[in-house]
Structure 1
Amino acid sequence: MTGPLRRRLPAAGGVLGALRARSELGVCALLLGVGALVLTDALTMDSVASTRGPVGPRTVPVVVGTALLVVAVALAVDVLRGGRGDAEGGEDVDLDEPGDWRTVALLVGVLLAFAALIEPLGFPLAGALLFWGAAFALGSRQHALGRDPLIAAALSLVTYTVFNTLLGVPLPGGPLTEVL
């Protein structure tokens, strides 16, 4: 390599050292790929004849995909010009401590249970279990007093009502809405 890029790359380590010095380019590639995928999907989707207003169903995906591409290019330019992200300092994060894999596993389990239960139970019940399970996985232990289940049920019902009634986005109601 010649020119200004050669001066910024570390002398030792060869190609592997150069890749480590520019590891942020991996994030750029990921953003570029996701942006291209979103734009491709948005531009190839079947147009919907009836829309509720001047903004069609393609607008948000096109804006998001374009924004992802712009951010990917801007980040790549910054990295190639010598910009680097700050090392993780954290507020009160101890970088020597291992990750809390129990919490991650609990959250993944709650999300998988929600995905499996949303059809048979409907959103109000499955959502309440999702919110309650997430609160439990993240450390809240107020379930004995009834606070967490009540907040989870209220949050789920409000979310269901907003999406189903106000926004016109139908969510599965399940047996609870058949009774009501």
Structure 2
Amino acid sequence: MTTGTLRVVRTPRWYTGRSELIVVAGVILLASLLTWGTLAMEVPDGTAFPGPQFFPTIVVVFLYGVGIALAIDVLRRPQRAHVADDPTEISNEMLEDFGAIDATSEIRVVSPEDVVPVGQVPASRVDWRTLLIVVGGLAGFILVLPIAGWLLSAAALFWIIAFAFGSRRPLMDIAIAVITSSVVQLAFGAGLGLPLPAGILEGVAPWIS
């Protein structure tokens, strides 16, 4: 039997590995809505600095910064950048191995740490670091909720929990966190008529007040 290597080459589209641009669009859209609400906010004459538009402006600038930085990161480093330049190679032996698998077989990938000797009961381990970060995040969320409001507090909590469980993509985590907390606040405020605390964003938009 002739041995060799099967080379699988796939031609990527422009959006290959760049689906996260959808998240970028969501962040920019949210920042645009907050910009419109901040500019349309009624500010009484003679209001002293910083005024009601100060903190919403900081939030808007932060969101634009996150959106632009995430867009640059996604465009520069798509998740599947290897598809065009590094074709996947599948050896004949691997194909034969897969061909020998029937419909009832199961493939599992485990790390050496997960392998437990026969007859030994796996030890129950508590990840104290993750637990402490999550508990600390929940405590902080309760403390800052009345001041910062739901949108910012819930977004921060989401980011902390994502970090605690091993995520190391801060820009993407922040973007998803802000979009998720905004959708929840919109659902409660505009959908159910139960406005969540607005905090420093009070009066920016009807669904945050």
Scaled by the length of structure 1, the TM-score of the pair is 0.45
Structure (1 or 2) with the greater helix fraction:
1
Question: Whose Rg is larger?
Answer: 2
- Of structures 1 and 2, the one scoring higher in RCO (CA 8 A, sep 6+) is 2
